[in-house]
Amino acid sequence: MARYFWRTGFMLACLLILTSCVGKREIDDLAMVMGVGLDLVEAENGEQHVKVTAQIARPADARGQTGAPSGQTGEPIWTISATDKSIFGAIRKLGSASSRRIFWAHSYVIVINEDLAKNGIKDIIDFFIRNPELRMRTWVAVTPDNASELVSSLTGLEVIPGQSIDGLFRYSKITRSAPRTQMIDLHAAYLSDSTELYLARLKLESNEISNKQPEQGEKQKNITLAGTGVFKGDKLIGTLSAKETRSLLLFVEDVKSGVGIVKCQDDESKFSTFELVHETLKVTPDYKNGKPEFTLTVRTTAKLVETDCTIGFDDDDKIAELETDIENELKSDVTNMLDKVQNEFGVDILEAGNVFNNEHPSEWKELRNNWNSHFEKAAIHLNMDVKLKSGALLFKPTTSGKKVDQ
Amino acid sequence: MPTNLELKMKQQLSENIDANINTINSLLEDNDDLVIRTFYLQFQQEIKCIMFYLEGIVNANKIDSTLHDLMSYRSANKATENQESSNKELAESIQKHLSHNSSVMVCSNIRDGITAILNGDCLCIIDQSDQGLCVSSKGGDKRAVEEPMSEQVVRGPRDGFTEDIRTNTALVRRRIKDVRLKMEGLKVGTSTQTTINISYISGVVKKGLVEEVKQRLNKINIDGILESNYIEELIRDAPYSPFSTVMNTERPDKVAAALLEGRVAIFVDNTPFVLVVPVNFWDFLQASDDYYLHYLTGTFIRWVRYVAFIISLTLPSIYVLLTSFHQEMIPTALALTIASGREVIPFPVLFEAIVMEIIFELMREAGLRMPKPIGQAVSIVGSLIIGQAAVQAGVVSPFMVIIVALTGISSFAIPNFSAAYSIRLTRFPLLIASGTLGLLGFIGMFFILAIHAVSIRSFGESYLAPATPFKPSDQKDFVVRFPWWGMNRRPQLASGKGVRQATKKPTPPQEEENSNKGSSSVIEAGKYISHEKADDNSKRGRKQRKTIKLADLVASKNKNDQDNRK
């Protein structure tokens, strides 16, 4: 027993100590990448190369002094880029310029330039999914701007731009101006036989007023959510605007709140704004004469949030009219988006094929080989059901207290 | 070849008092505390008596009264002619008639006499008699019953064991007034002759357990037992294991509870720590408070302790493996914070963790060993130097300080001191494994520990029961402490399937039940109804008649029942 005990102890000690901490990398020896930008550049020999830009956090500057005073540069991020034929090659080149080991797992966002996306992103999807260190919950987006510029500009309230992009996506449920696309969605959509992939679109927009020179107006650039990039296969074929994206999100995501603006019934120049809550969409697929058909039912509750008209909640007829107005408004939005997706792009990004498959699996087997063309021709009927329920805190219209003789 | 000493010890007391004095003197020579008192009986002046005792371990009052009794002794046989024979029987006669002392024994050889003297009794030898008297006079200074230092409770009895075994057994006996409670005695230690009592409730304890305990105790061959840990290490299962397989406690209520659960307690003289066998690992995480507080509170604080156990075992290892191997597993925001704290630290995390753990143990040990008035200094030095200056100087990261402090506090939350220590020890192999091999090392070492813990037994009981092997009926006192009315059976380690208590869940008195219980309940039922009636009167006047009817109904039913009984 004693011999067994000591022998085991000795072997364990050897096993642990003689490994010399293989694979160890201290957290302070890592260059933690917060955001990745991918651009298309033309190399000297005319080949098209990938430029990888990495936004790396300086922990001491990003967090301030947490322990002992450490040398701080005042710059919370450090951005470097490298160009090569493949992403991995560029990443290896980045490493030769960094004093710390570049660590990709904490990357908040991957931004792909639209030019690069138009050439196909299959290699990108493959690389980021093949790598075991990377998270599947990283946000993925396309941008019309230079991805390197987008990744290296300090924007938003956060110290680290990657974190502010993360925040943009996280709280985009209310603004609904871009889909929340993560690496895992990208992968799923690419591998799916029915759904085409789409990515959020980010844009640099001059909307920040400098505190030091406010008279110059909105000069400073900020990253903004700006619609959706639509893909066919792995190639970008077009974009949806932020407004169209709102209608798209009805199909593909849970939405918390939307906005509807309608003209006043008595005065065409004035508007009422409604917040749309509890928006739900039901898609009922049908198969008629060898063609797929879809019936969409949108139900939503509207809340009056701002108005220039005289709307009181005591008049049921008026409310009913208003509901119809909002329905029409919503209907035109959804129809516009459907029109663009069906006729202009001709790709199913609405997961319609998926729904159809669930309902008519045997018919799906015939249609799936050429689904996009069937989707293009599919008739889509739209039903709207808006309930105007509350005027928030006000029941009666806001009117001035001053009495004027008419 | 028996030594001179052994030969002397074997001698019988002789009728010649001087020979006896010489023998005893030679055995107990060079002892300053040996008192030899020579006196003569008051009414038989020719009879010389000698009393031996060791000063300090005897009760002086008892010696005085014994002396008084002996000197004023008047032989009942005085009238008889045969003086010599009467003297011979004198010792026995005195034993029978000297009623002032609770325990007087007659001894006829030197060994018994010497043992009595060493145990704090006084030996009295009488001229012309070959028998001596061992008069019980144990005494000396003892510590009073105080609150146990190592296991304190908020609600619950405040008495703790002392160094005196009789006080200790009395504290338990005062709690269990059961004829089946046994306190079997034996002596262990060739020099110390330490009294050991094996306590159990016969009928509740599993068959063979007491025999096993006795057998293991009888195997002990040692010169001295100074503390119950000597016994613990000499009889325990898995002697190399860091996990304790024997429980020790200072609390008589805990021992009493263990006895009622069918365990065996081993009292050892001269130590306030009583051993309890068999034990499960989880018993070390359960405090008496669990049972004295509301069952929800008891359950909650038990969970807190389980969490404390997990923290104190794994937290430093998890921190080390995350920060030096698996940074992708840390949430990004936290990773940045940790990285910024470690920015200027020149050491690897594993080294930092080991050093901090050792420093923590140093402070704890120094605080314990130091004279109490200086103890404050340790905490000041500890908190200022280690807590702040080391962080400011960039030697230790603030996160590491938090981790080590949290681990330390958690290990103090484990109620049993020796169990807390074994957990503290097992933390180090875990720490080194996870610092060298990452998650793989952590899991590997954890499995080694877990397999070891599963494999050991404590006096025949699986160490990790009732978790594994899973015992459904014992779950009522494991993760959740059930209310007392829900815990009906004794744990499975007790013998048979004895019902421990058969009280049902307390409920308000029921009409139906009451009405069937004879005359006294007739009034009760009436009261209950009339109460309701009054209530109804004030609230809903209309229902009054109906209620009265119900009352009449119950009353008539009671009457019928009574008649039937007659």
For residue range B268-325, what is the model confidence (pLDDT) as tens digits? 999 999 999 999 999 999 999 899 999 999 999 999 999 999 999 999 999 999 999 9
| Residue from B419, B405, B317 nearest B361 by CA | B405
Phi, psi of A253, deg, nearest 5: -140, 165
Residue A66 phi, psi dihedral angles, 5° rounding: -105, -30
Q: Which residue of B has its CA nearest to A105?
A: B328
What are the backbone dihedrals phi and psi of residue B233, each rounded to the nearest 5 degrees, phi first? -70, -25
Segment A333-340 long-range contacts (CB within 8 Å, at least 24 positions apart): A333/A243, A333/A244, A333/A246, A333/A247, A334/A247, A334/A250, A334/A296, A334/A298, A334/A382, A335/A382, A336/A244, A336/A247, A337/A240, A337/A244, A337/A247, A337/A248, A338/A247, A338/A380, A338/A382, A340/A238, A340/A240, A340/A244
What would the two tokens of residue B235 be?
């009889």
Residue B73 is predicted with a pLDDT of 67
Q: Are A63 and B336 within 8 A, CB to CB?
A: yes
Which residue in A5, A16, A24 is closest to B324 by CB distance? A24
Nearest CA in chain A to B342: A28
Residue B174 has pLDDT above 90, yes or no: yes
Q: CA torsion, points B152, B157, B161, B164, in degrees to nearest 10?
A: 150
Other C-beta atoms lying within 10 Å of the C-beta of residue A201: 28
Q: Could you tell me which of A83, A93, A89 has the C-alpha nearest to residue A148?
A: A83
Among B71-75, B214-218, B383-387, the range scoring the smallest mean pLDDT is B71-75
Residue in A with minimal Cα distance to B390:
A68
Amino acid identity for residue B288 in this structure: S
Say yes or no for a CB contact (<8 Å) between A66 and B340.
Answer: yes
Please give, rounded to a whole number of angstroms, the shortest distance from the CA of A141 to a CA of chain B.
19
Res A213: pLDDT: 83
Mean pLDDT to the nearest integer, B14-43:
86
**Per-residue pLDDT at B519:** 47
Give the mean model confidence (pLDDT) for residues B37-43: 81
Render pLDDT for A256-284 as a digit per residue (tens, 0 to 9).
777 888 888 777 888 888 888 888 888 99
Distance of CA A157 to the CA centre of its chain: 19
Phi-psi region at B523: left, alpha or beta (left = phi > 0; alpha = psi -120 to 50): alpha
Nearest to A66 among B332, B398, B432 (CB): B398
| Min distance A78 CA to chain B CA atoms (Å) | 14
Binned at pLDDT 50, 70 and 90, residue B530 comes out as: very low
Query: Is the Cβ–Cβ distance between B280 and B458 less than 8 Å?
Result: yes
pLDDT at B222 over 60: yes
Locate CATH 3.30.300.210 in chain A.
Answer: 252-397
Q: What is the pLDDT of residues A227-251, one digit of tens each?
A: 999 999 889 999 999 889 988 888 8
- At B552, the pLDDT band (50, 70, 90 cuts) reads low
Task: Give the pair of three-digit tokens for residue B212.
Answer: 């096993």
Picking from B336, B348, B448, the nearest residue to A62 by CB comes out as B336
Tens digit of each residue's pLDDT (9 = 90 or more) over B145-158: 999 988 888 899 99
- What are the residue boundaries of the structural domains of chain B, listed by start? 4-135, 165-279, 294-462, 511-565
Helix, coil or strand: residue B370: coil
Residue of A nearest to B238 (CA): A1
d(CA A160, CA A77): 7
- Mean pLDDT of all residues in B529-537: 46
- Contact criterion met (CB < 8 Å) for A28 and B339: yes
Q: State the number of CA atoms in the 13 A half-sphere of B417 facing the CB.
A: 10
Closest by CA to B170, choosing from B156, B158, B181, is B181
Q: What CATH class is the domain A252-397?
A: alpha beta
Task: Tell me: pLDDT of B543 over 60.
Answer: no
Q: Is the pLDDT of residue B542 over 60?
A: no
Q: Is the pLDDT of residue A18 over 80?
A: yes
Span of A151-155, B101-105, B503-507 with lowest mean pLDDT: B101-105
- Nearest beta carbon to residue A23 from set B343, B392, B438: B438
- Across the interface, whether the CB atoms of B397 and A67 are under 8 A apart is answered yes
Is B438 an 8 Å CB contact of chain A? yes
Q: From CA A245, how far away is CA A260, in angstroms rounded?
A: 14
What is the band of B524 on the pLDDT scale with cuts at 50, 70, 90?
Answer: very low
SS3 labels along B537-560: HHHCHHHHHHHHHHHHHHHHHHHH
How confident is the prediction for chain A on average, in pLDDT? 86
Confidence (pLDDT) at B81: 45
The whole-number pLDDT of residue B17 equals 85
How far B222 CA sits from the closest chain A CA (Å)? 21
